[in-house]
Amino acid sequence: MTPSARVPTAGARRRADRAGVDAAVRTWATVSLWLGLAIVSYWWAAGGGVPDLGAWTTGLTSLGRLTGLLASFLLLVQVLLMARLPLLEQAFGQDKLARKHRIVGFTSFDLMLGHLVLITWGYAAGELTRTPATLWDLTTNYPGMLLAAAGTVCLVMVVVTSVKAARKRLRYESWHLLHLYAYLGVGLALPHQLWSGQEFLTSPLATVFWWSSWALTAVAVLVWRVALPLWRSARHDVRVTSVVREDVDVVSVHMTGRRLDRLGAEAGQFLTWRFLTGAGWTRAHPYSLSAAPDGRGLRITVKELGDGSASLPAVRPGTRVLVEGPYGRLSDRARTRPKVAFIGAGVGITPLRAMAEELDYAPGDAVLLYRFPDRPLFGREFDVLARDRGLRVLMLPGHRRSQGSWLGAGVGEADDATVLRRWVPDLAERDVYVCGPEGWLEDVRRAALAVGLPPDRFHVESFGW
C-alpha cells in the first residue's frame, strides 16, 4: 500500500475515534442538564414545595422558589455553554452551542422574572396592592437583594440587546461590550439565594452543590476565557507579517509566531483576534482561517464591515496579536464520508478554502460551489487546488437571483434543488460544508435536504451575533 493510500485510512480512524468521544460528551452534557434540573426540583419538593401549592399565598411563594431554583441552575448552564470548554466546543461546535445558549438564556430569564413576580406576590400575602411595598422591603432589607437587583438590571440589558431586532441595530463592538454584562449579572444575581434561600440552607448537600456549582462556573470562565487565551498569546507571540489587499473591501492578514504547530488549529476553525494597535484592542473579533495552518504561519481574510474589520488595512507588520481559540467544529472533526462538498458565498468562502487545502480526499471527491457577486476571492489558489488536489470548482458569479434562492442570476428558471442535483448528483453521499450569510445558508440547507442529504451531514458554523 502506498503512503498516499494510507493517509485517508488513518484519517478515517482518527475521525471515528473523535466521533465516539464527541458523542459521549453530548450524551453526558444532556444527561447532566436534566439531572441537575431534576435534583433542584427534588430539593424544592423535599422542602415542602408540593404541599405548599394547596393554598394561594403559600402556593405563590412555593412556585416562586421553584422558578428561582430552576433559573439559578440554568443561569450557570448558560454561562458554561459559552465558557469555551474544549470538550463542549469540540462535541457541539460553536454554532450549536450559541443556539443552545440563546434558548437556555431566554428560558432562565423568563424563569427569573417569574421568580421575582411570584415570590414578591407571595410575600405580599397574595395581594397585588401590597407588592410594590413588599418588593422595596425585600430589596432593601434582605441579604444580597441589592446585588440581585443590580444583577437583574444587567441581565435585562443583555436580553433586550440579544433580541434579533435589537442586534440588527447595534454595531458588533457595542453588542459585544454589552453582552459581557451577562457575567456581571449572573455573578450579582445568585448570591442572595446562596445566603438566604431556603433550599440552599436547609440541606448541607444542597449547600455544597450550589456553592460548588457557582465556584466551578466562575473558575471555568476565568480559566478558559481569560487565563488560557493570555497564556497562548504569550506562548505563541503571534505577530503580523503583512496585510494584503484581496479586493476593494477585502484584506488578508498574514501572521507568524512561535510553535504554532502546538496551537491545535485546524482548517475551517476560527479564532478571536485582538490586534494591539491602540484604541479598540480590548474587543475581540472572530475571523476564520483562510489558509490551512502549517505550523509556521496563520492567515485570515476579512471583509471591511465594522469598526474592527475596517481598521485591519492599517495594521502594520510587527503588530502583536492576542488570540483566543481555535474554536468551531466546521473542520475535519465533523466529517463522516470520504466525499465532501463545499458551498460558499462571498467572503464566507474563507474557511472552505482552508479546508479544501487541508482535508484528505481523492481527486474528484471534493467539489466547491462558490457564489460571488463581482469577482471571486482566491481565484488562482483554487486553480492550484484543482490542478494539484483534484478539487472540482464551480464558480457561480452574480448576485442572488431572488430572495429564497441561494443561486446567482443566470442559472435559468430551475428550482434550487434541481440545479444542485444536476451539479452534484451524489450530494446525499457527501459531507456538505457551508459558509455564508445567514439567510442564504438556510436557502442552501433547504435545497440540500430536498435532494436527500441527511441533516447531520450539513455542516455550518455561525459565529455571528
From residue 465, alpha-carbon distances to 164, 179, 285, 318, 404 in Å are 9, 10, 11, 30, 22
Average pLDDT of the residues in 406-418: 81
Residues 353-377: pLDDT tens digits?
A: 999 999 999 999 999 999 988 889 9
98 inside domain: yes
1 inside domain: no
Domain that holds residue 87: 16-232
Its pTM stands at: 0.84
8 inside domain: no
Look at the chain and report how many structural domains it folds into: 3
More confident call, 402 vs 174: 402
11 inside domain: no
4 inside domain: no
263, 346: one domain: no
Residues 36-48: pLDDT tens digits?
A: 999 999 988 988 8
With a cut of 80, say whether residue 179 has pLDDT above it: no
From residue 371, alpha-carbon distances to 22, 30, 342, 351 in Å are 32, 38, 11, 15
Cβ count near 232 (within 10 Å): 20
Angle of helix 94-123 versus helix 145-162 axis, rounded to 10: 140
Average pLDDT of the residues in 437-451: 91
**Do 78 and 183 touch, CB atoms closer than 8 A?**
no
415 inside domain: yes
303, 347: one domain: no
Distance CA 15, CA 266 (A): 13
Average pLDDT of the residues in 421-446: 93
**φ/ψ (deg, to 5) at 38:** -65, -40
Q: Which amino acid is at 445?
A: R
343, 323: one domain: no
Is the dihedral angle over the CA atoms 134, 140, 141, 144 positive or is it negative? positive
Residues 234-276: pLDDT tens digits?
A: 999 999 999 999 988 899 999 999 999 999 999 999 999 999 9
pLDDT of residue 465: 46
209, 294: one domain: no
Considering the chain, what is the average pLDDT of its residues?
85
* CATH number for the domain harbouring residue 352: 3.40.50.80
Strands (E), 84-123: none
Strands (E), 267-411: 270-275, 285-288, 297-303, 321-327, 340-345, 366-372, 392-397
From residue 441, alpha-carbon distances to 363, 404, 459, 462 in Å are 27, 10, 10, 10
Exposure b/e, 54-78, CB count within 10 A at least 16 = b = eeeebbbbbbbbbbbbbbbbbbbbb
366 inside domain: yes
More confident call, 322 vs 197: 322
428 inside domain: yes
pLDDT of residue 164: 65
CA angle 143, 145, 150 (to 5 degrees): 140
Average pLDDT of the residues in 74-83: 90
Residue ending a domain, choose from 327, 354, 384: 327
Exposure of 422 by Cβ count < 10 A (0-12 exposed, 13-18 middle, 19+ buried)? exposed
pLDDT of residue 196: 61
Would you give the end-to-end CA distance of the chain in angstroms?
A: 48
With a cut of 80, say whether residue 60 has pLDDT above it: yes
pLDDT of residue 191: 67
Residues 188-238: pLDDT tens digits?
A: 666 666 666 556 666 788 888 888 888 899 899 999 999 999 999 999 999
Distance CA 225, CA 178 (A): 17
pLDDT of residue 163: 66
Contacts of 115 (CB under 8 A, 6+ apart): 64, 65, 67, 68, 71
